[in-house]
Amino acid sequence: MPAPKMPYVEAFIRAIHNSLTFETPDRLAGFLISRQGRGSLMLDEEDLRAYRATVEQLMKEFVKGDYLSRRSAETYLDDALFFALELEATSTAAFEERLKEGLETMRRQLTSPAKRYRCLVRVEGIAPDDLPFRLGKVRFVKYSPAQARQLIGQAGSPDRGRILRDARANLLGKVFAVVDVEARDFDSARILARRQTRTVIDLVNFFYDVTPYNHGWLYLPS
């Protein structure tokens, strides 16, 4: 399959480059975007409309279902934009070279295959003593110290103390649905996992409704 050209992205970046000014405005008005180490841009109303239209086109062209989030599409666009503009003037490459490289990186990001994510979705209404059990592709478990240690083992050393404190305060002993999903970023994985969990909860609650003397239902805390 030939690589997508994304002419609308190239046109947007060129338009920003051609109208770029480093003058400080009398007052800050507009939409601010920035990248650490690459500077900041203040978009006026016209630029903002073009920015949003570009993101919408990216979503339409590359996102089928919920396998990539809008936040990631915006991040990829911002990365290509700031890479091409080179506001901090640390690169000796010409604008055309930077633009080409930024667009190529963006293409790879947008067409990358989905990855497998394991998500934990908090669920209320299940007695922890009844766990674990599985319904379809969703497994319900009580969060245990072993799971906390596994989570801590995957984190960088500066974060381990905070994660352990949070796990003890908010996770241990609570009921979670464990859901494996295919997605291209974490935000999309979380959306898909919650959707699968809600489907299973609706199924369980349907039978709870026809069970005599039952007065409880499963639900998501949020």
DSSP letters for 40-54: EEEE-HHHHHHHHHH
When comparing pLDDT for 210 and 49, which is higher? 49
**106 and 119 share a domain?**
no
Domain edge (last residue) among 77, 110, 143: 110
Same domain, 125 and 198: yes
Average pLDDT over residues 4-31: 81
47 and 123 in one domain?
no
Does residue 2 carry a pLDDT above 50?
no
Residues 151 and 124 in one domain: yes
Residue 207: pLDDT band with limits 50, 70, 90: confident
The answer on pLDDT for 199 being more than 90 is yes
In a domain, 103, yes or no: yes
Residues 127 and 84 in one domain: no
- The better pLDDT of the pair 175, 130 is held by 175
User: Is 1's pLDDT higher than 50?
Assistant: no
Q: Is-contact 115 182, C-beta < 8 A?
A: yes
Instruction: Please indicate, yes or no, whether residues 119 and 105 belong to a single structural domain of this protein.
Output: no
Domain closes at, from 110, 136, 153? 110
Structural domains of the chain, count: 2
Report if residue 215 sits inside a domain: no
The pLDDT confidence band at residue 181, using thresholds 50, 70 and 90, is very high
Q: Which amino acid is at 65?
A: G
Q: Are residues 123 and 194 in the same domain?
A: yes
- pLDDT over 90 at 187, yes or no: no
pLDDT of residue 37: 81
In the predicted model, is pLDDT for residue 162 greater than 80?
Answer: no
Q: What is the CA radius of gyration of the chain?
A: 23
Looking at residue 129, what is its pLDDT?
A: 82
Are 99 and 140 found together in one domain? no
Residue 218 belongs to some domain of the structure: no
Which of 89, 110, 131 is the C-terminal boundary of a domain? 110
Q: What are phi and psi of 37, to 5 degrees?
A: 80, -5
Cβ 6 vs Cβ 103: under 8 Å = yes
User: Domain of 62?
Assistant: 7-110
In which region does residue 65 sit, left (phi positive, over 0), alpha (psi from -120 to 50) or beta (all else)?
left
Place of tokens 């405005």: 25
Same domain? For 91 and 168 the reply is no
The mean per-residue pLDDT over the stretch 95-116 comes to 91
Mean pLDDT of the 143-165 span: 63
Question: What local confidence, expressed as pLDDT, does residue 204 receive?
Answer: 86
- DSSP run (H or E) holding 35: strand 31-35
